[in-house]
Structure 1
Amino acid sequence: MDAAVRADAAGQAGLFARIWEQIYLRQPHEVPPDALRHAQRALVDTLACIIGGSRQPCTAAASTAAGDTAADRALVLGTASHALDYDDVCMLATCHPSAPVISALLCQLEQCDQPVRMDHLLTAHLVGTEIMLRLGAWLGFGHYELGFHATGTLGAIGATAAAAHLLQLPIGQAGTALAIAASSACGLRVNFGTDTKPLHVGFAASAALRAVALARAGATANAAGAMAEFARAYTGNEPLLPPRFSGDGRSWAVLDPGFEIKRYPSCYLTHRMIAGILKLRGEAGGHSHDPERMPRIDVEFPPGGTIPLQYPTPQTGLQGKFSAPYCAASAWIDARVGLSTFTDHAVQRAHVVQAMQHIHVHERTGAPEALDSAPVRVSIAGIGSVLVDWAPGSLQDPPGNAEFMEKWQDCERLSGVQAPGDSARQLLQADPAANARALLDPVLDAVWRCIRNRADAGLHA
């Protein structure tokens, strides 16, 4: 890199340092009520995903391999949170923001000596996800295209910021923790469709708690240079545009562009396709859905929209989550895409495998498009075509409280976890001044019992 480019990169890194410091210093009374409300919904959604993922083999493996430190517990909860690929996403940085941040916060919360109010916990979540997403927006889609799983790499930074904020670490100590976490950031897309993808979230949450503990214990790091080096290393040394952030105190990614709450437990880049197929299916009236008379379905993605969809002929439920043909065929045949869609047995159904031959997927040619807003076109022979220009689960198409409750209950049924009482509704309606642990501990106790029982029974019981 020549001197001019290096100087520009250093200047941008300095700008980003000022951005994250502005975000980190925010306190609950400075956060708009709407942002806190969306953070509260993200907390409940992520807890549902943790519940649903608590009996998955990847979570059992993490539990068996881990010890019982806070960082070990974060590894396990983080893995559970992403085991179903059902947790929220934000296309501002092509990642899952809440899973690594909330997993780390839940385990850091256990270490707090004093009661923590709900609004303090939610503000820490907003601070962590905001720093994570602004960093990802600065790095751009090239980070993802290089092969990194941004949820793992960015998640280590965001989760560290959140845990530090929960403890109200001084800004200098928080910067040291972020620099330590930057050396632990990891995650490769090649592992999509395997147990290692959810483990990336566990790695991020665990790295966050280790980084905070090390910073508090006096470990040193190059806080001034870490973000510049992180940006250089994780973008392949490509020149970057200056990071953008208003800094007015009202700018929160959870409000603009918002987080997408997943309606389907598959890669988010399948969701517009699934929504389009279900819409056309519902309008088809008496059209036969017999697999023997499967119509041709054409799906046009934006440029780059199929990058993570790397399994044209999946063999396992995990692979099915990253298969456009499988998700499309299941949506048409089953009229729904849910947790039961992604078992090994479901993926191997002969009539679905046959139907997948009628799914044709391609990307549009031309200039790059922003994946957070780029539409997907679905065309079904003999029925019609729809341009899916809405993002399922987004602020423009949000799930209602009833959908939250249904998702929570589906996850409970899958795992066998029975959270006491009306936990989901209580958390959705919790007062900002409520004691966070009093509300969360009963749910987490039920989750940990399930995880330990599953691990004791063997990884593949």
Structure 2
Amino acid sequence: MSQPREQLADLIVHSTPSAEAREKARAGVLDYVSVALPIVLGEIEDKPLRSLLAVFSQQQNAQSWALLLGYAGHTLDFDDFHQQFHGHPSAVILPALFALARDCSVHQGHSLNGEHFLDAYVIGVEVAGRLGLAAGAQHYQAGFHNTATLGTIAAAAAAARFIQADVAQTAVILGIAATRASGLRAQFGSSVKPLHAGYAAETAVVATQLALAGFDGKNAHVIEAFLSSHGGGKQQPEKLTAYWAQPWRIITPGLEFKPYPTCAGTHSAADAAFELRARWLADSGKPLNQLAEDISRIVVAFPSGGDIAASVRNPATGIEARFSLEYVIAAVLLHNRLSLEDFDERPVNNEIMSLARKVIRQPDETAPRDEIDPTQRFHEVTLSRENGEVWVSRVTRKQSVAKGVDQSLKLQSCLSKSSAAEWAEIEALCQLATPAALPELAKRLTSFKTL
């Protein structure tokens, strides 16, 4: 009987994504480009990128492009999320694919076909979701960052499909990627978190290049060993291949595009705060500049363990504040927005921080623990006023996700310095509908200012 790695390799090589899956992939490409391109072009300043470019400025190759694009796509924490993966698939899969598309030495002998690229992306997301299910919730709870660990293998799967590796080569690529997969949640709130995505994409490219060069690896038990060592006894390796593509995981549960540049674990709390702010303005009878002093206490409730990602209580910078329930709730109440400039590398806003100190976390022990079913997560925000009134808003994760995102507006907000014609051109390129689209998009994404 073949092992999970060999079964997985065969499915990666021989599966044919549906037209619907490819359409979902096109939307994913647009979302990734929207958040990565402003970093590449320097439209949004990112100081840590200077350090990366100082190290990689002389290395114009697929490995360095993958690392830089992984970092660029994840640095704003505005990139997509996948519920089963419990991480950010596109920030690792697409950088590896675009880096390989840019590297002429890898795809010599076959054309850069947009649908072939999209198929590889769909395969990568499928593997990402399945790895999340197979590894189980304990992997993330133990301190690993799924985007970095599981994402390395998912990106490798996509890369193998893109370069048309055979089953044996694909198995080697997966094994090398699993050996190098790493990344810790302890780095959340720092620039190392987006670097995790860069490392994962880089490893996928390296594994692919090694396999193409004839490098070999262990033929069995590698994926099982990875899951066993990282799953805390809760791993379910059979979920790697059972009911493959029924449906494709890029369709169901699908990619979730972020409406706010903050941790996804803060979004339903933000939506509850938006509702409470609107009620305060309508019913309090007071001017907005009295909102902070009118609120005596704010309690945010959620299933026990539901704040594992949004763990920062006293952020010092906007980057740390992306992972702070307290800061996100206060920012919404005061400013009615969660914008990119609110969550950059500058120190936190003192006015927001003052209100954030009134926020108290209160896990709801009557609700099922978050790791049992993260899809049931909710945030209930209770606002206590100085006059004794108490207002409550409860928003579930499903309600927040169901609101969706206007991708055109998101592109425009991220690339605010570009023109309407440039926005339209980028959206057209992201459809990958013409022979010139993929090489042009790959070229733009790898045109970092000092490369």
Q: Which residue of 2 aligns with 1:21?
A: 10
Q: Which residue of 1 aligns with 2:265?
A: 269
TM-score using structure 2 length: 0.88
Q: Which residue of 1 aligns with 2:38?
A: 52
Q: CA deviation at 1:251?
A: 1.8
C-alpha contact (below 8 Å) 2:102/2:443 kept by paired residues: no
Deviates more, 1:238-247 or 1:81-90: 238-247
- 1:222 and 1:83 mapped to 2: Cα distance? 34
Q: CA deviation at 1:392?
A: 6.3
Deviates more, 1:232-241 or 1:306-315: 232-241
1:230-249 correspondence runs (5 A): 230-238=226-234, 240=236, 242-243=238-239, 246-247=242-243, 249=245
2:31 corresponds to 1:65: no
Deviations 1:192-214 (A, max 9, x none): 00110000000000000000000
Deviations 1:348-384 (A, max 9, x none): 3222121012211122225423113322222223463
Distance verdict in 2 for CA 1:365–1:265, change over 3 Å: same
Q: Which residue of 1 aligns with 2:425?
A: 423
Deviations 1:291-316 (A, max 9, x none): 23235322112221111223211101
Q: Which residue of 1 aligns with 2:362?
A: 362
C-alpha contact (below 8 Å) 1:88/1:262 kept by paired residues: yes
Unmatched runs of 5 consecutive residues or more in structure 2: none
C-alpha contact (below 8 Å) 2:135/2:235 kept by paired residues: no
Distance verdict in 2 for CA 1:190–1:98, change over 3 Å: same
- 1:355 and 1:292 mapped to 2: Cα distance? 9
C-alpha contact (below 8 Å) 2:227/2:235 kept by paired residues: no
Q: CA deviation at 1:170?
A: 0.3
- 1:329 and 1:443 mapped to 2: Cα distance? 38
Q: Which residue of 2 aligns with 1:188?
A: 184
C-alpha contact (below 8 Å) 1:51/1:417 kept by paired residues: no
The AA in structure 1 aligned to 2:137 is: F
1:274-285 correspondence runs (5 A): 274-284=270-280, 285=282
Q: Which residue of 1 aligns with 2:164?
A: 168
| From 127, 132, 147, the counterpart of 2:128 | 132
- 1:153 and 1:303 mapped to 2: Cα distance? 24
Distance verdict in 2 for CA 1:316–1:40, change over 3 Å: same
- 2:226 and 2:242 mapped to 1: Cα distance? 23
Q: Secondary structure of the residue that 2:380 maps to in structure 1?
A: strand
- Percent identical among aligned pairs is 27
Distance verdict in 2 for CA 1:421–1:278, change over 3 Å: closer
1:409-420 correspondence runs (5 A): 409-413=412-416, 420=422
Q: CA deviation at 1:248?
A: 5.7
- 1:22 and 1:436 mapped to 2: Cα distance? 28
TM-score using structure 1 length: 0.86
C-alpha contact (below 8 Å) 1:157/1:178 kept by paired residues: yes
Q: Which residue of 2 aligns with 1:220?
A: 216
Deviations 1:278-301 (A, max 9, x none): 123224314344323235322112
What is the aligned length?
Answer: 429
Q: CA deviation at 1:19?
A: 4.3
- 1:236 and 1:116 mapped to 2: Cα distance? 41
- 1:104 and 1:372 mapped to 2: Cα distance? 29
2:393 corresponds to 1:386: yes
Distance verdict in 2 for CA 1:420–1:279, change over 3 Å: same
Unmatched runs of 5 consecutive residues or more in structure 1: 1-10, 454-461
The AA in structure 2 aligned to 1:386 is: S
Distance verdict in 2 for CA 1:56–1:303, change over 3 Å: same
C-alpha contact (below 8 Å) 1:17/1:227 kept by paired residues: no
Q: Which residue of 2 aligns with 1:457?
A: none
Q: Which residue of 2 aligns with 1:38?
A: 24
Distance verdict in 2 for CA 1:417–1:65, change over 3 Å: farther
C-alpha contact (below 8 Å) 2:120/2:162 kept by paired residues: yes
Distance verdict in 2 for CA 1:52–1:359, change over 3 Å: farther
2:88 corresponds to 1:81: no
- 1:321 and 1:159 mapped to 2: Cα distance? 25
C-alpha contact (below 8 Å) 2:134/2:235 kept by paired residues: no
